[in-house]
């Protein structure tokens, strides 16, 4: 079922509705005819606000709006990727305007919503706010105020907040100025719940009062939009295939007294509709029986009474099952709405609590309520957003940092990512080096370090198995790392561990590859990892139960035959080690084992083991571990 969007907008300046004036920063845009692949079915809604508006700022607002719409519909890929790209583009554009403008710089906020079929994806930056009206109440977007808000146009690293929602007919979306975000959620309920666009705009006009605002109201319906005439909303200015005029709105009859019907009346209407449906079903079954079993000729022998007896039993049973299902579903909806309200209340109490113990109790209660709600309605985006807010708050209380991944490139099924290295400083060049162990090749992706988007569709192959470098034929490549220039090492470059006992060096300045042998490589058994510290290189060989140590000799390597490997005071059980990492400050190292445990060593002695971690923040070992990276202080 594809939902249709019925839009209306409100443009008020100091209490005066601006009739016939285009509202800058508001967009309701269907995909143009020349939209990029994947954008053809998208419907974009947009609200862009800049600080301290005037005539010049309104012109800038409209330019940014048109640029965002154009960038979105020209970008291929997923919805979230296109939204991040478009918002990042206007953020850079506004940032350049602030730098070049001699006057006061302007920050801003933006809310973008994309409708595709029954799914709604919302992206926000700055102090943006939106409201989603459903049959059980109003949901604020974002559900909780972010701890740190970076306005649009103030920083190159912009925090874009994403939300995913599943819509139903009758749901309504309000994109508003940040000033309206100060209102409680319940205040906008009359404009968004059990109403229509025309009535909702009247409610919003009363809310704004003598203030100013630019509001975009959208109703989602499974029926074709009506031909509506204007009601205080101005049509969105039409630009070159960028901004689509909103559908005009027809006055709708007001309810008597202007009040919405109570919930009891709505429930009675639902029961009446169910009864009429059952009546139609019974009549249809009777017609079907008359068709299948026409009246009997008196001369014919009597029919088998068992058939009629069976039908007489089945029909009431079927009707009872349908009625029970209707009431059961109504009960589930009521219970889900109650749980949703309890979660919102508990989150508010957690934010108001003064001590961490009370906050942790409230947030854990939110997780319990969210689990009950997801059992009733799995994969609900609103519940998932509230659960994530509670989990993030618990992480802050416990000092835990979680990393969120962004899909950059999809590799074939035969690939196996063994190692990934960013060329330092990544913020200046954007090179990403990848070792594909499945296909035994080293790739380079070029990316934009500001937007974290790839600038080339396909990676460049630097090295591959069987390639001849100087007089060496590349074998199985096990690991790679970035080897910076130092006292002995003359050039920055990417080095690759070849299990045949060679160090492959790729120098990015001239794009050349060289090879140098490892000493005592004949004693290697199965090297799996390579790490660097102070120009030295360490090779982890679990099969030989050794960590081989190599010293720099120019760009080559040398080994001390009397002490070729690290000597441990107590056995570190390297036979089950999978990877390691080194601390660039003190030279200590971490060893990661196949059973998920960690051990930290320095100068051949163990500093702490998995038993120490078990009494701290890691009571259980990791699973499916592959690579270890030292990040920060331990």
Q: Of 57-66, 118-127, 296-305, 355-364, which range is least confident? A: 296-305
* 461: nearest Cα among 448, 482, 477: 477
Q: For strand 472-473 and strand 502-507, is the pairing parallel, antiparallel, or unpaired? A: unpaired
- Among 551, 567, 583, identify where a domain stops: 567
What is the CATH number for 43?
Answer: 3.60.40.10
**pLDDT higher than 50, residue 4:** yes
**pLDDT higher than 50, residue 509:** yes
Q: Of 113-127, 342-356, 611-625, which range is least confident? A: 611-625
**pLDDT higher than 70, residue 515:** yes
In this prediction, residue 400 has a pLDDT band, given cuts at 50, 70 and 90, of confident
Which CA distances in Å does 390 have to 121, 125, 139, 394, 611? 21, 21, 16, 6, 29
Query: Rounded to an integer, what distance in angstroms lies between the CA atom of residue 462 and that of residue 222?
Result: 53
- Quick one: pLDDT at residue 265? 44
In this prediction, residue 450 has a pLDDT band, given cuts at 50, 70 and 90, of confident
Task: Tell me: do 142 and 50 sit in the same domain.
Answer: yes
Q: Of 1-15, 283-297, 389-403, which range is least confident? A: 283-297
**pLDDT higher than 70, residue 247:** no
Q: For strand 26-30 and strand 43-50, is the pairing parallel, antiparallel, or unpaired? A: antiparallel
Where residue 417 falls (left for φ over 0; alpha for ψ -120 to 50; beta otherwise) is: beta
Q: Kindly state whether residue 624 falls inside one of the protein's structural domains.
A: no
**pLDDT higher than 90, residue 172:** yes
Query: Rounded to an integer, what distance in angstroms lies between the CA atom of residue 569 and that of residue 12?
Result: 77
**Of 290 and 264, the one with more pLDDT:** 290
* Peptide linkage before 142 cis (omega within 30 of 0): yes
- Quick one: pLDDT at residue 419? 92
Q: Kindly state whether residue 111 falls inside one of the protein's structural domains.
A: yes
DSSP string, 296-317: PPTTSPPPPHHHHHHHHHHHHH
List CB contacts of 506: < 8 A, sequence separation 6 or more: 442, 462, 463, 493, 494, 495, 496, 512, 513
Query: Rounded to an integer, what distance in angstroms lies between the CA atom of residue 122 and that of residue 133?
Result: 14
Task: Tell me: do 461 and 391 sit in the same domain.
Answer: no
Indicate the average pLDDT of the chain: 82
- Quick one: pLDDT at residue 622? 60
Which span out of 107-116, 143-152, 302-311, 395-404 was modeled with the highest average pLDDT? 107-116
Summarize the confidence of residues 618-622 as an average pLDDT: 57
Question: Number of folded domains in the chain?
Answer: 3
Query: 253, exposed or middle or buried, with CB in 10 Å at 0-12, 13-18, 19+?
Result: exposed
Task: Name the residue range of residue 359's domain.
Answer: 276-290+306-398
In this prediction, residue 628 has a pLDDT band, given cuts at 50, 70 and 90, of confident
The residue assigned the tokens 């006292």 is 487
In this prediction, residue 89 has a pLDDT band, given cuts at 50, 70 and 90, of very high
Which percentage of the chain shows pLDDT scores above 70? 82
Summarize the confidence of residues 461-482 as an average pLDDT: 94
Q: Kindly state whether residue 634 falls inside one of the protein's structural domains.
A: no
Task: Tell me: do 193 and 286 sit in the same domain.
Answer: no
- Among 398, 432, 456, identify where a domain stops: 398
**pLDDT higher than 50, residue 364:** yes
Is residue 564 classed as helix, strand or coil in its secondary structure? coil
| pLDDT tens, residue by residue, 519-553 | 999 999 999 999 999 899 999 999 999 999 999 99
Task: Tell me: do 94 and 153 sit in the same domain.
Answer: yes
Q: Kindly state whether residue 300 falls inside one of the protein's structural domains.
A: no
Summarize the confidence of residues 306-333 as an average pLDDT: 77
In this prediction, residue 77 has a pLDDT band, given cuts at 50, 70 and 90, of confident
- Give yes or no for a contact between 438 and 414, defined as CB atoms under 8 angstroms apart: yes
- Quick one: pLDDT at residue 523? 92
- Quick one: pLDDT at residue 250? 36
Task: Tell me: do 244 and 321 sit in the same domain.
Answer: no
Task: Tell me: do 96 and 125 sit in the same domain.
Answer: yes
Number of residues that make up the chain: 634
Residue 455 DSSP one-character state: S
Query: Rounded to an integer, what distance in angstroms lies between the CA atom of residue 433 and that of residue 492?
Result: 14
* 421: nearest Cα among 480, 476, 465: 480
DSSP element (H, E) containing 22: none
Task: Tell me: do 386 and 457 sit in the same domain.
Answer: no
Task: Tell me: do 317 and 439 sit in the same domain.
Answer: no
CA trace torsion 177, 180, 182, 188 (10° rounding): -140
Task: Tell me: do 233 and 193 sit in the same domain.
Answer: yes
**pLDDT higher than 50, residue 238:** no
In this prediction, residue 323 has a pLDDT band, given cuts at 50, 70 and 90, of confident
φ and ψ at residue 598, rounded to 5 degrees: -120, 150
Where residue 383 falls (left for φ over 0; alpha for ψ -120 to 50; beta otherwise) is: alpha
Summarize the confidence of residues 436-464 as an average pLDDT: 91
Q: Kindly state whether residue 593 falls inside one of the protein's structural domains.
A: no
Q: Kindly state whether residue 101 falls inside one of the protein's structural domains.
A: yes
**pLDDT higher than 60, residue 226:** no
- Quick one: pLDDT at residue 510? 87
Task: Tell me: do 14 and 71 sit in the same domain.
Answer: yes
- Quick one: pLDDT at residue 433? 95
| pLDDT tens, residue by residue, 412-449 | 999 999 999 998 887 677 889 999 999 999 999 998 88
- Quick one: pLDDT at residue 278? 61
- Quick one: pLDDT at residue 500? 94
- Quick one: pLDDT at residue 252? 39
Query: Rounded to an integer, what distance in angstroms lies between the CA atom of residue 626 and that of residue 620?
Result: 17
In this prediction, residue 233 has a pLDDT band, given cuts at 50, 70 and 90, of very low
| pLDDT tens, residue by residue, 254-268 | 434 444 444 444 444
- Among 367, 398, 429, identify where a domain stops: 398
- Quick one: pLDDT at residue 263? 44
Q: Kindly state whether residue 258 falls inside one of the protein's structural domains.
A: no
What is the CATH number for 529?
Answer: 2.120.10.30
Give the side-chain half-sphere CA count within 13 A for 268: 5
Task: Tell me: do 312 and 384 sit in the same domain.
Answer: yes
Query: Rounded to an integer, what distance in angstroms lies between the CA atom of residue 631 and that of residue 149?
Result: 25
Q: Kindly state whether residue 592 falls inside one of the protein's structural domains.
A: no
Task: Tell me: do 73 and 214 sit in the same domain.
Answer: yes
- Quick one: pLDDT at residue 620? 58
Residue 152 DSSP one-character state: B
Summarize the confidence of residues 607-614 as an average pLDDT: 67
Q: Of 199-203, 298-302, 373-377, 478-482, which range is least confident? A: 298-302
**Of 266 and 78, the one with more pLDDT:** 78
In this prediction, residue 633 has a pLDDT band, given cuts at 50, 70 and 90, of low
């Amino acid at each position: 079922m594809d939902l249709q969007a019925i839009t209306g907008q409100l443009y008020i300046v100091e209490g005066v509705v601006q009739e016939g004036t285009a509202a800058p920063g508001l967009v309701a845009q269907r995909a143009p005819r020349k939209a990029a692949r994947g954008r053809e079915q998208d419907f974009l809604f947009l609200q862009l606000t800049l600080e301290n508006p005037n005539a010049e700022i309104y012109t800038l607002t409209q330019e940014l709006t048109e640029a965002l719409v154009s960038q979105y519909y020209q970008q291929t890929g997923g919805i979230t990727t296109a939204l991040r790209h478009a918002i990042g583009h206007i953020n850079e554009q506004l940032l350049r305007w602030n730098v070049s403008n001699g006057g006061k710089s302007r920050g801003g906020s933006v809310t973008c919503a994309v409708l595709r079929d029954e799914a709604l994806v919302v992206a926000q930056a700055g102090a943006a706010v939106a409201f989603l009206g459903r049959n059980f109440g109003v949901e604020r977007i974002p559900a909780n105020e972010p701890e740190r808000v970076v306005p649009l146009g103030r920083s190159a690293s912009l925090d874009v907040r994403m939300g995913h929602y599943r819509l139903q007919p009758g749901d309504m979306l309000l994109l508003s100025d940040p000033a309206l975000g100060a209102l409680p959620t319940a205040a906008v309920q009359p404009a968004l719940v059990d109403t229509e666009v025309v009535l909702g705009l009247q409610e919003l006009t009363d809310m704004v009062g003598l203030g100013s605002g630019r509001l975009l109201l959208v109703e989602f319906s499974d029926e074709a939009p009506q031909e509506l005439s204007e009601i205080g909303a101005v049509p969105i200015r039409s630009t070159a295939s960028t901004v689509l005029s909103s559908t005009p709105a027809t006055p709708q009859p007001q309810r008597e007294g202007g009040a919405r019907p109570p919930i009891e009346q709505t429930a009675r209407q639902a029961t009446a509709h169910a009864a009429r449906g059952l009546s139609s079903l019974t009549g249809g079954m009777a017609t079907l029986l008359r068709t299948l079993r026409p009246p009997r000729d008196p001369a014919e022998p009597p029919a088998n009474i068992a058939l009629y007896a069976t039908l007489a039993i089945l029909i009431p049973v079927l009707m009872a099952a349908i009625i029970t299902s209707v009431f059961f579903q109504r009960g589930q909806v009521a219970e889900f709405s109650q749980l949703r309200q309890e979660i919102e209340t508990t989150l508010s109490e957690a934010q108001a609590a003064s001590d961490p113990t009370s906050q942790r109790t409230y947030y854990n209660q939110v997780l319990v309520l969210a689990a009950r709600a997801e059992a009733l309605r799995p994969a609900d985006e609103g519940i998932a957003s509230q659960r994530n807010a509670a989990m993030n708050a618990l992480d802050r209380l416990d000092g835990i940092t979680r990393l969120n991944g962004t899909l950059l490139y999809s590799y074939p099924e035969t690939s196996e990512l063994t190692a990934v290295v960013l060329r330092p400083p990544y913020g200046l060049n954007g090179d990403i080096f990848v070792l594909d162990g499945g296909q035994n090749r080293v790739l380079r992706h070029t990316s934009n370090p500001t937007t974290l988007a790839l600038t080339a569709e396909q990676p460049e192959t630097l090295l591959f198995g069987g390639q001849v470098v100087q007089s060496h034929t590349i074998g199985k490549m096990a690991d790679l790392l970035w080897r910076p220039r130092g006292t002995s090492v003359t050039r920055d470059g990417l080095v690759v561990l070849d299990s045949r006992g060679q160090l492959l060096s790729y120098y990015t300045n001239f794009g050349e590859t060289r090879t140098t042998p490892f000493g005592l490589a004949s004693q290697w058994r199965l090297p799996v990892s390579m790490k660097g510290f102070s120009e030295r290189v360490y090779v982890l060989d679990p099969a030989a139960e050794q960590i081989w140590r190599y010293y720099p000799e120019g760009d080559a390597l040398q080994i001390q035959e009397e002490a070729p490997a690290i000597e441990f005071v107590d056995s570190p059980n390297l036979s089950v080690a999978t990877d390691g990492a080194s601390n660039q400050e003190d030279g200590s190292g971490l060893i990661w084992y196949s059973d998920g445990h960690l051990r930290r060593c320095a100068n051949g002695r163990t500093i702490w083991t998995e038993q120490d971690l078990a009494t701290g923040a890691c009571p259980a070992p990791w699973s499916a571990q592959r690579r270890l990276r030292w990040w920060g202080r331990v």
